Structure 1
Amino acid sequence: MFFVTLEEAAKNGDLAMVKWLCEVRGEQSSYASVLAASEGHLDVLKWLRGNVFNPSPSASMDDAAANGHLDVLKWLQTNAGYATTAAMNKAAGNGHFAIVKWLHQTRKEGCTAVAMDLAAANGHLEIVQWLHGVRRGECTKAAMDEAAANGHLTVVQYLHQSRKEGCSTRAMDGAATNGHLSVVQWLHQHRKEGCTKAAMDGAARSNHLALLEWLQKNRKEGCTSAAMNLAAQNGHLTVVQWLHAHRKEGCSSNAMDHAAANGHLDVVQWLHKNRKEGCTSSAMDGAAGGNHLHVVQWLHRNRTEGCTKAAMDNAAARGYLKVVQWLLVNRTEGCTGAAMDGAAEGGHFEVLLFLHNERSEGCTSKAFVNATTADELTILQWLFEHYSKEFGRDPLQLYAFDKFYTLRWLKDKAKVESATQARR
């Protein structure tokens, strides 16, 4: 527990807290030095180096380079620090040109093809040019693939003109998925790799209708049923309608199932009226688990698939009392012990009480463990009072029992101290 606190203090640059944890609490953590270096807290790094554990030199230097902390790098350089190729790779990928050049001039580790790949992916053209010209560096097809996917057309053009690695179909697929029409058009005109069905599928998923229209007109790869499924899942009704009108791949029951789970009632209604694939019980289960009561009610009135016990179980676990109450009144599937178990873990006491009063499934021993893990003292106490017969003697349940009384002791102690202070 205190290791985490020390590491967080180092990460946040809180030198006073770091000193207190180490000097008063006696805590130590070599990783704290790495975090201090990574976040650029040189004063914390110096103190930890001199008073507790030495930093992990390579991890400290690599992470400091990745985040652009030149002062930390220089200090580590003169204090037995060392780096790996990850230092320049990460610095290049994150656009820290000054760090890249400093490492080149000062260190011997160099970099790998990952440096140019990452720099290209993130649009750092100047670094890509420098790595190519000064270091005579290497890259892979991933450089152009990722640059295209992220919309960095100037980087794509430079790699095309200056490098021989080329790209793969992932370049156009990724650019289409992310909505970079100008990149897709350039690749179509200047490269021969083309794309796959993933281009149109991805464009549909991400709601890029203009790209879908362009691909439909200029490419022959087409799409799969995943296009409409994913568009429906994400609530892109216009795209769903366009695919229905212009493509023949259709969709599966996943379209309505996932649209319902994500609360897209307009998509669900359109699919119900215009498509024949329908849905499964997963539609209502998912809608209930997502707190989309209006979707649950519509499915109940207009579809026959119904739901399973997972509907109430999931709604209870996430604290959606109104959904649980509606399902109890209007559906017959009921729930399992997982409903109360999940409500206990989530701290949803109102749901727990409702299920206790209205249902007979009860809970399992997992409820005790779940409530303990979540530090839900009130719920844990209530469970012991009402479901003691479910409490066993396996290690996890004994841990719950022990922690319950520890938490109750702390709570009672706090009340006594508060009352004592109030009387003073």
Structure 2
Amino acid sequence: MNINSSSNSNNNNNNENRLDEIELEEISDGSLNAISNNEIGSDSLGNSPIQPNKSETDDSVKIEILDDNAKPVIVVDDSVNQKNSNRFLSPIYRYFEKWTGIQNQTSPPMVPFSEMFWSWLGSMVGMGLLAALHYYVLNKQDLVLLIGSFAASAVLIYGAYAGPLSQPRNLIGGHLISAVIGVSIRIAFVDTLGLYSVGSFCAVAFSIVAMQLTRTLHPPGAFVKFIHERKQLKSIKWQYVLNDPKILLQHGYLSELNVLLDRPYIIDDYDGFKLIEPHFALYIQCLPTLRFLFSKYREKKAFWISLIYLTIMNHNKESTMFLVENIESIGDDVMESVLVAAFKQPSIEIIDYLYKRVKSYQYLEDSIVVIVENGQINALKYLYEYGHLRSVSASKILYTAVVYNYYELVHFIVERFPDARIKSDLLPLIAKNCDLAIYQMLLERGNEDTGENHPLQCFTYVIDMAAENNRLDTIKWLTENKPDVSRICSVKAMDVAATKGYLELVQYLHFNRSEGCSKIAMDRAAKSNHLEIVKFLNENRSEGCSYKAVDRSAKHGHFQMVKFLCDNRLEGFTRKAMNYAASNGHYEMVVYLYQWGEDMCNPVTALMNSAKGGHFEIFKFLFSKLTVEDQMISDRYVDKPLNDFLQYNSKEINRFLFDESYQLDVDQKDVDRLVQLGCHDSLRVVYQWSGGSFFNTNSMTLAIKERKLKVLKFINKNCPGIVEPKSIVTHACLSGDIDIIRYVLSKDFSTTTDNEVKFVFQLLLDYKCSLLSGHVLYETIELMIDKYQSRVTTNEYKIITPVRAGDIELVKLLYSKGIKAFDKTLLFHIANIGHIEIAKFFHDNGIEQSITGCLEKSIKNFEMFEYLYLNYPSQPPINYLNAIEKAIRNGCLNVVRYLHEHHDDHDIFTPQLTQLANDFKRAEIEKFLLSISLHTK
């Protein structure tokens, strides 16, 4: 290989791009092996290659073939070489050019349309299957399977399927690893330590490193951590879920719901059906849940029949069909009533299904007018198709449709029933809402009562009505065909047309009728910003307008309208115009109005309005126009002093006034008001102006009660001399704001006494801080224990409330924090309720409890009864006979059978027990006792 280049090329110092052409001779076989094998610089025999200079990299070397017979030419671009050398001198530049993409000098290739189609189809099918899986297999709430990370993954696996990050290993592994790390970090940082701001970014960072280490890097995987935040899921303890029929119904936990409904309670006449009856809206849309409840409470026939109407109202055909086909012996009258209810709804499928199952249609035909009142045009078409509409007077149907404003139905009736007539007093409504053809047809048919022509008085103000809906064709017809009718039109027609912006109608009324308009026409046209109509009225009419035209236009920011009116009319405007414009932030309008009529503006009132809206530029402009008199006598035009702008808490306005050395006139009430409103920036201005003299103990208390953490921090930091408020911990906990509670408990307030700590802690244990619940309550209790360890770990507290509520999480928290002196009677309080987890916790941790009376009390909760029997057999000796008698009275056969199988003393099963079962009509227990007595004999 011979390389020839220009020998003087390196001496060229000009700034233009220099290209050195290097001819590459063909080797003997006529091919370019050196180039094809990326060995530019090798000789023709394949010996060791000639190493190119570092400046001659791939970016600077190009191979050009001018035509088929020409030799390849290597073109070296020195500008690229210069750029490369600069990159080596600037590592930061090389790093950021990755972000800008300037390394790639050519645009990315176009994706073929075939690949676009398959990407679209794949993503549609994939995400569609996820949605269908969630909606039809799981519950329908929130569609949590459609998360952002899956959408991003779809972009990779369908749009860039060949990429290394799109492979199955990366897709599955990346999501799993990120999910594990996200949950772990949330437990460690958020749930345990309360570091809400740390969890998210730590999870993302650790997920990226973990995916890199496992070679499963998949960008959407890092998003898994944010599923909880995005969906704003509410954390509920499982024990609460098991006792809440609404949650169980909503999420389809049918087995758990079955346990809840069958759970025995202390009330003898308890009916589990009452738990689910109020929540019908949750299961009429879910057929599996509806089937489960129907099979369990099939005997509630009246309820299930009433539910048919609800399924129809919710347009649920499947649930309607299930109930109709499974409720035994539904009467014909009930089915007719159900059919009429269906005709009041838009679902034709349900109508068609029920229509074919009804034997008689008499009630349906009697209810047609009621059906018309609901305005279901498709239902009426169905009735017309099957010939039921002819059973009722078409005029009666037409009258009902007009009265209820169903004008699509009016068209339908008029076109299909030639005998349909209407009362004369309804003709104006027809002219307003129907086409001219319908109006003419009804006029020709005459009056409903007599069949004669409609009297002339029916045309009174008919053009006014037609003008409201821009019925120009109807108005033209009436003008041309009813010229002799008096009062056919009034000024209201043009007023309404101008208000609604019907320019063509306004012009027609002006040129073809004599009624004219009033000032209302231009006033309302100006308010609605119909400039062309205002110009037309100004040029062609003499009625003019009032000051309201400019006032209302200024309020809505119609600058061109205001400018036109001020330039062409003499009515002017009032101070309201400036006030409206300043309040709504129309700066250009404010400047124009002030310049046009300075004497018509009240800068003080306008200034207050601009401050209220936070419009700084307007405020600054108006402030510059205040006179000394305005600033000193600030309540000249308003009841409140000018410094009321502080309550609007505009940082820019407050800073502007402070820089202008404006003299504030505030008192203690003003400061308290600012604290209640949380006006942090305004309070800062007051503090800088007054030196903190207006801040006191009440200010801190107000900030806590109103949950203004920013204000509380500001006062506590900048006013160290004020007396700390009493009961500050109490106020913080009662506020229900966890951020306030954290802040207060992080400080050492000298006014916090032992009695207050004990009082607040007992309030928390009794759930009397109504604004605290769930994890916020737990965190507050934990913070109290950590802050006042020696004061709250005594034996003075009653923990009966959380125990009776089954709050095992709180019980565990208290125990883990050193509060172990539990009342010995707690087990008695939960024996009949069935919080077995708490009973197990007491037993497993050696927490001493009295068993006296517990076994007898737990007979209606067999699981608790069995646990107590096995784990507290003789602490103290139990009166088993008393327990059996109580079980018989309450019909608890499982308890009687269990004691017979496990209790050693069978002599307690005496004939008196059989008689007791007979007295209380417990047939199954009586049968069991008789069987064991016969077996004993």
TM-score (norm 1): 0.65
> Residue 281 of structure 1 contacts residue 306 of structure 1 at CA under 8 Å; is this kept in 2?
yes
One-letter code aligned to 2:575: G
> Residue 153 of structure 1 contacts residue 183 of structure 1 at CA under 8 Å; is this kept in 2?
no
The structural deviation recorded for 1:378 is 3.2
Instruction: Give RMSD over aligned pairs.
Output: 5.3
- Identify which of 362, 386, 398 aligns with 2:602: 362
One-letter code aligned to 2:348: H
The structural deviation recorded for 1:89 is 4.7
Matched residues in 1 for 2:410 and 2:383: separation?
A: 14
Q: Which runs of 5+ in 1 are unaligned?
A: 1-9, 24-33, 50-55, 414-424
Counterparts of residues 16-415 of structure 1 (less than 5 Å):
16-17=228-229, 20=232, 22=234, 61-62=280-281, 69-70=285-286, 74=290, 89=309, 91-93=311-313, 95-102=315-322, 116=340, 119-120=343-344, 122=346, 124=348, 126-127=350-351, 130=354, 139=367, 141-147=369-375, 152-156=380-384, 158=386, 160=388, 168=397, 169-171=399-401, 177-178=407-408, 180-189=410-419, 194-197=421-424, 200-206=427-433, 208-220=435-447, 222=454, 223-247=458-482, 248=485, 250-359=488-597, 360-362=600-602, 368=608, 372=612, 376-378=614-616, 381-382=619-620, 385=623, 389=634, 392-393=639-640, 401-405=647-651, 409=681
> Residue 368 of structure 2 contacts residue 392 of structure 2 at CA under 8 Å; is this kept in 1?
no
- After superposition, the Cα gap between the structure-2 partners of 1:145 and 1:347, relative to the gap in structure 1 and judged at 3 Å, is same
- After superposition, the Cα gap between the structure-2 partners of 1:377 and 1:131, relative to the gap in structure 1 and judged at 3 Å, is farther
Structure with the higher helix share, 1 or 2: 1
Q: Choose between structure 1 and 2 for higher RCO, CA contacts under 8 A separated by at least 6 residues.
A: 1
- After superposition, the Cα gap between the structure-2 partners of 1:175 and 1:238, relative to the gap in structure 1 and judged at 3 Å, is same
- After superposition, the Cα gap between the structure-2 partners of 1:86 and 1:195, relative to the gap in structure 1 and judged at 3 Å, is farther
The structural deviation recorded for 1:307 is 0.8
- After superposition, the Cα gap between the structure-2 partners of 1:361 and 1:370, relative to the gap in structure 1 and judged at 3 Å, is closer
One-letter code aligned to 1:96: N
Aligned partner of residue 332 in structure 1, secondary structure: coil
> Residue 92 of structure 1 contacts residue 115 of structure 1 at CA under 8 Å; is this kept in 2?
no
> Residue 257 of structure 1 contacts residue 283 of structure 1 at CA under 8 Å; is this kept in 2?
yes
- Counting matched residue pairs gives 371
Matched residues in 1 for 2:315 and 2:618: separation?
A: 51
- After superposition, the Cα gap between the structure-2 partners of 1:344 and 1:156, relative to the gap in structure 1 and judged at 3 Å, is farther
Aligned partner of residue 307 in structure 1, secondary structure: coil
The structural deviation recorded for 1:392 is 4.6
Aligned to 2:129: none
The structural deviation recorded for 1:91 is 4.6
Q: Which runs of 5+ in 2 are unaligned?
A: 1-139, 145-226, 236-245, 258-274, 297-302, 329-333, 449-453, 652-677, 685-709, 711-937
> Residue 287 of structure 2 contacts residue 318 of structure 2 at CA under 8 Å; is this kept in 1?
no
Matched residues in 2 for 1:371 and 1:88: separation?
A: 58
Aligned partner of residue 299 in structure 1, secondary structure: helix
The structural deviation recorded for 1:75 is 10
- After superposition, the Cα gap between the structure-2 partners of 1:259 and 1:161, relative to the gap in structure 1 and judged at 3 Å, is closer
Aligned to 2:654: none
The structural deviation recorded for 1:291 is 0.7
> Residue 119 of structure 1 contacts residue 127 of structure 1 at CA under 8 Å; is this kept in 2?
yes
One-letter code aligned to 1:130: L
Aligned partner of residue 504 in structure 2, secondary structure: helix
Matched residues in 2 for 1:151 and 1:400: separation?
A: 61
Matched residues in 2 for 1:58 and 1:314: separation?
A: 54
One-letter code aligned to 1:285: D
- After superposition, the Cα gap between the structure-2 partners of 1:74 and 1:295, relative to the gap in structure 1 and judged at 3 Å, is same
> Residue 463 of structure 2 contacts residue 493 of structure 2 at CA under 8 Å; is this kept in 1?
yes
> Residue 373 of structure 2 contacts residue 404 of structure 2 at CA under 8 Å; is this kept in 1?
yes
Aligned to 1:26: none
Aligned to 1:421: none
Matched residues in 1 for 2:229 and 2:430: separation?
A: 49
Which range is displaced more, 334-343 or 251-260? 334-343
> Residue 344 of structure 1 contacts residue 370 of structure 1 at CA under 8 Å; is this kept in 2?
yes
- After superposition, the Cα gap between the structure-2 partners of 1:312 and 1:126, relative to the gap in structure 1 and judged at 3 Å, is same
One-letter code aligned to 2:480: A
- After superposition, the Cα gap between the structure-2 partners of 1:230 and 1:70, relative to the gap in structure 1 and judged at 3 Å, is farther
Which of structures 1 and 2 has the bigger CA Rg? 2
Matched residues in 2 for 1:111 and 1:344: separation?
A: 64
- After superposition, the Cα gap between the structure-2 partners of 1:246 and 1:355, relative to the gap in structure 1 and judged at 3 Å, is same
Matched residues in 2 for 1:262 and 1:130: separation?
A: 46
The structural deviation recorded for 1:17 is 4.7
Aligned partner of residue 515 in structure 2, secondary structure: coil
> Residue 149 of structure 1 contacts residue 171 of structure 1 at CA under 8 Å; is this kept in 2?
no
Which range is displaced more, 226-235 or 195-204? 195-204
- After superposition, the Cα gap between the structure-2 partners of 1:102 and 1:196, relative to the gap in structure 1 and judged at 3 Å, is farther
TM-score (norm 2): 0.33
